[in-house]
Amino acid sequence: MTSNFQELVFDPQVIRRFDVNGPRYTSYPTADRFVEAFGSDAYRNWLGRRTVGGSGRPLSLYVHIPFCNTICYYCACNKIITKDHGRSAKYIKYLGKEIAMQTAALDGNRDVIQLHWGGGTPTFLAHDEMKRLMEIINSHFKLLPGGEYSIEVDPRKVDRETVKLLAELGFNRMSVGVQDFEPVVQQAVNRIQSLDETKLVIDSAREFGFKGISVDLIYGLPKQNVISFNHTLDEVLKLSPDRLSIYNYAHLPSLAKPQRRIHESELPSADAKLQILQLAIRRLTDAGYVFIGMDHFAKPDDELAVAQRQGRLHRNFQGYSTHAEADLLAFGVSAIGKVGPTYCQNFRTLDEYYDAIDHNQLPVMRGLELTADDLLRRSIIQALMCHFELSIESVEIAHLIDFKSYFAEELAALREMEQAGLLSIDSQWITVQPKGRMLVRVIAMAFDRYLRTDRERARYSKVI
C-alpha cells in the first residue's frame, strides 16, 4: 500500500478543531521524559555494547556549537551570546576531550554516514577553529564517501571564502536560516538579514559543489501578514533551495527568555497564522515541492522525497533523515544522542559540561533506556510521521503483539479523527488521509503513553 505523498488538503476548520499543544516527536519518548538516573556510566555501558547482536551500523554524529554573535528574539535554542572567540577556542578543546572519551568507550566500527553541526551558530567559529574541530572528528572517525555532511549557516556572518572552506572540510549540505525577508519583521525579532547576503551564501554553496541547500522560514512572527510573507516566498522560490522548512513560531516567553522582548500585541492572530501557512503550502506545492511531513518540503528529486517514496524515510533529532539505522553520537552542551535502545542528553550549561569532563566523566545530564513498549510505540510514531501509513501486520510480526487488543484505547481515541476524515483504519492499515497530513503530530499523540498519564501539555507548543 502506498500513499500519494504530494496530496495534501489544507482544511482550516479541521485544523482549528484538532490543533492542540503537543510534541514534535524528534524522538519517542520525548526528551522531557529522560531521567537523571540514566547518567554517564549507563551511557558508557551502552557505547561498549553497540555491536551486541552483530550490528556494525555506520554512525551519525551531531556537534552542538552554542555560540551566537547576536540574539534573535524568537529563538528557543540552547545558545550563548558572545563576541569572545576565546570562549569558542576553549569549547573546541573540551569537545576534543569529549569525543576522545566517547570513542574510547565505543564498540564496533567508527564509520560515519551522517554529520551535522548545529547551534547556536556553527559559523560563529573562526576558520582555524572549524579546521581544528574537523581534524578532531577525522582523527576519531572515518567519514564515508557519499555521506550526508551538513552545517547550519547564518548568512549574516558568512562570505564566499567561508563557504569554500566548508566545502574543503567535507560539508556537502547546508541549512540556511532566513525566517522572513520583510524588514519590519526582521527588526521586530532583531535579525536583520538582506536578500543579497543570503543569495551570496546559496550561490557560493552551488559554486563549490554543495549537493543540498535547505532554507528555514518561520510563520507567526511579529508584524507578519499574508502579503508580506508572500513577498518572502517570492524571493525564496527564486533562490530555489532543495529543501524548505516552515516552522511554527511558538511564543513561550516563560520558557524562552529572549521571547519576552517580542510584543504579544504584534503577533498575528491564530486565523492570520493559518492563512500564512495555507499560502506557503499552496505556493510551494504549486512550485513543485513535495510535502514531506510536519513543516518540511523538498524537491521531488531530493533524497528526502526519494526516501519517502521508497519507504526509507526516518526522523531523528535533526528532523527528517535518510539514515534510519545509524546510532547517533552527540557532542557538546545540551546535545542529544541515541545508541541502541537508549537516549542521552548532555548538560545544558558550559560550567557543568566542563566540570564533568574535568572529572573524566562523560557530560551526560540525563537519558533513558527504552522499554519494549517504548520501542513499539516509537516504531508506530515513526511510521506515521514519515510515511503517513502503518502496516498493522508488520507491527504485529516485529513486536509479537495483537495490535487491536494492545491498542484498543488508542484505536478508540482515533475514531473521532477518523470520522473527521483525518485518517482511515481497516484490518491491515492505518492511513493518514490528505486532510490529516498537517495534523500528523496529533494522530501520533494518540500512541504516546506518557501523554495519557500526563495531560499537562503547557510545555509543548501548538501543533500548527
Cβ atoms within 10 A of the Cβ of 456, count?
8
C-alpha 359/C-alpha 106 separation (Å) is 19
**Domain 1-29+372-464 and domain 31-329 have a common topology:** no
- pLDDT tens across 282-294, in order? 999 999 999 898 7
Cα 149 to Cα 166, 211, 257, 435, 443: the distances in Å are 10, 10, 32, 34, 32
C-alpha 226/C-alpha 268 separation (Å) is 10
462: confidence class by pLDDT, cuts 50, 70, 90:
confident
Contacts of residue 42, Cβ cutoff 8 Å, sequence gap at least 6: 342, 344, 364, 367, 369
- pLDDT tens across 301-328, in order? 999 999 888 888 888 777 788 876 789 9
pLDDT for residue 4: 47
pLDDT greater than 90 at residue 25:
no
Element (H, E) at 175: strand 173-179
Query: Is the distance from CB of 224 to CB of 232 less than 8 angstroms?
Result: no
- Give the residue numbers of the binding site for S-adenosyl-L-methionine: 62, 74-76, 119-121, 152, 179, 191, 216, 250, 336
pLDDT greater than 60 at residue 425:
yes
455: confidence class by pLDDT, cuts 50, 70, 90:
low
Mean pLDDT in residue range 327-350: 95
C-alpha 239/C-alpha 193 separation (Å) is 15
pLDDT for residue 2: 42
Mean pLDDT in residue range 147-162: 95
| Segments making up each domain of the chain, as ranges | 1-29+372-464, 31-329
> Average pLDDT of the chain?
91
C-alpha 315/C-alpha 324 separation (Å) is 8
pLDDT greater than 80 at residue 83:
yes
pLDDT for residue 459: 60
3: confidence class by pLDDT, cuts 50, 70, 90:
very low
- pLDDT tens across 209-263, in order? 999 999 999 999 999 999 999 999 999 999 999 999 999 998 888 888 899 999 9
C-alpha 385/C-alpha 445 separation (Å) is 11
Of residues 9 and 196, more confidently modeled:
196
- pLDDT tens across 108-124, in order? 889 999 999 999 999 99
Q: Percent of the chain at pLDDT above 90? A: 73
Using CB atoms within 10 Å of the CB of residue 286, give its burial: 0 to 12 exposed, 13 to 18 middle, 19+ buried: exposed
- Give the residue numbers of the binding site: 62, 68, 72, 74-76, 119-121, 152, 179, 191, 216, 250, 336
pLDDT for residue 456: 54
Mean pLDDT in residue range 412-424: 94
- pLDDT tens across 355-380, in order? 999 999 999 999 999 999 999 999 99
CATH hierarchy code of domain 1-29+372-464: 1.10.10.920
- Give the residue numbers of the binding site for [4Fe-4S] cluster: 68, 72, 75
Q: Which fold has domain 31-329?
A: pyruvate-formate lyase- activating enzyme (3.80.30)
pLDDT for residue 1: 40
Least confident piece of the model among 135-144, 170-179, 251-260, 449-458: 449-458
